[in-house]
Amino acid sequence: MEALRKLEQLQRTLTFMESRNFVSSSTPDSNRFIANLILLLLQPCGELNFDTKCHLISECLPKISVSFLEEASEWVSLETDERDYQEIDIPPDKKDCFSLQINHDEVAMVGLEAMERANSTLEDFCRSYFMFHGMDINSPNMIFKYFPVLEFTESYIYQLDGSNEKLLTIPTEGGLADEFEKGKYQGWAETFSNMLEKDPLRPLLNVLEQRRLLTERIREELKSGEEYWALERKLCRALICKMEISLEDVMRAIHLKSFDYRVLNLLLYQLRGQEVNDLHMEFLSVSEFLVEISDDLMVSIIYSTPR
């Protein structure tokens, strides 16, 4: 729901601007640009306060010109292209193997960024859920015995979640959407869209099945994840288009959001060769639901408090 929260923050900022007669023009894109700039200034940055940030903007703004931005755009694009498309030097005797790995749709792989993002969830899971399995959080042997499977699974989920968030940034209507379709990122958008629509969890399911860890309940929880991502896209696009949002969809999304915790919990039962404790699962499901509501309320309070 991170993308949904960002859209909510943007909408709150636009409403605030209107209430202060701060709307720069009748152009939605112009107002959105100013709103994003305000949100950037509100973000914490080391020890900088609002006064210091305003002085920095006043000092640097005269130095920013069209030519400066064009040069910066080329510089950033060049750096990105070099990272994304740099040819990899592969030994001749390894090329077939390497090609097989990266072109095979059924191979499950995770990136370092996804592993880093999954870290906080895994730490929270270990601290909050191990006690229900009679496991000692202070025992390294106990943690690392099961950690590889738990980490790989959560990282794979975070990787798909990141792709879903990137898909949410793609314009779907208006002139901006038309320009986007003509842009160089059209293939990028289609890649993410196809990945999320064509059984994106299949590679992970294959890994779990090969290790005899896949159960029907785990499969169902992972399907809940796909439903959650679809709801997230639906809700975010409704916000962007200023359409009515269904309360039923919101509540359903909140309930589904913690599907990864339930997957990890069910996996831990499988890894330990134990029967699932349905009473624990029901209690934790209610707890997860309340935590999600609490988190959303806290974010809402923070961004509605006058500064």
Q: What is the pLDDT of residue 249?
A: 87
Residue with tokens 């939605």: 28
- Give the span between the Cα atoms of 121 and 158, in whole angstroms: 10
| Residue 274 CB neighbour total at 10 angstroms | 11
Residue from 163, 164, 161, 150 nearest 119 by CA: 150
Mean pLDDT of 113-127: 90
Query: Helices (DSSP H) in 20-129: which residue ranges?
Result: 28-42, 50-60, 66-85, 95-103, 112-129
| Contacts within 8 Å (CB) and 24+ apart, 83-89 | none
Whether the CB-CB separation of 71 and 64 falls below 8 Å is answered with: no
The whole-number pLDDT of residue 15 equals 81
So what's the pLDDT on residue 84?
Answer: 43
- Using 50, 70 and 90 to split pLDDT, how confident is the model at 85? very low
Q: Give the C-alpha separation, 187 to 181, whole Å.
A: 9
Identify the weakest region by mean pLDDT among 9-18, 86-95, 294-303. 86-95
pLDDT per position as a tens digit, 202-229: 899 999 999 999 999 999 999 999 998 8
Domain boundaries, the chain: 113-307
Q: Distance (Å, rounded) from C-alpha 58 to C-alpha 63?
A: 10
Region 291-301: mean pLDDT is: 54
Q: Residue 259 in contact with residue 221, Cβ under 8 Å? A: yes
Distance (Å, whole) CA 193 – CA 199: 11
> Of all residues in the chain, what percent carry a pLDDT higher than 70?
72
Residue 3: predicted pLDDT = 64
Tokens of 31: 């107002």
Using CA atoms, how far apart are residues 210 and 206, in angstroms rounded to an integer?
6
Contact 8, 243 (CB under 8 A): no
With vertex at residue 243, the alpha carbon angle to CA 239 and CA 248, rounded to the nearest 5 degrees, is 85
For the chain, what percent of residues have pLDDT higher than 90?
A: 19
Q: Is the pLDDT of residue 18 over 70?
A: yes
If one counts every other C-beta atom within 10 angstroms of the C-beta of residue 17, the result is: 16
Tell me the pLDDT tens digit for each residue of 157-194: 999 988 888 777 665 544 444 444 445 455 555 555 55
**Res 78 pLDDT > 70:** no
Per-residue pLDDT at 292? 65
Kindly list the distances between the CA atom of residue 22 and the CA atoms of 14, 51, 122, 226, in Å, as whole numbers in the listed order: 9, 19, 43, 40
Does the predicted model carry a pTM greater than 0.75?
no
Determine the pLDDT at residue 33: 84
Q: What is the Cα Rg of the chain in Å? A: 23
pLDDT digits (tens, 9 = 90+) for 60-72: 888 888 888 878 8
pLDDT score recorded for residue 103 = 41
Specify whether the CB–CB gap between 274 and 152 falls below 8 A.
Answer: no
Q: What is the average pLDDT score of the chain?
A: 76
> Closest by alpha carbon to 176, among 27, 37, 71, 12?
27
Mean pLDDT of 26-55: 84
Look at residue 194 in the predicted model and tell me its pLDDT. 58
- pLDDT tens digits, 245-263: 888 888 888 888 889 999 9
Give the dihedral of Cα atoms 248, 250, 254, 256; nearest 10 deg.
60
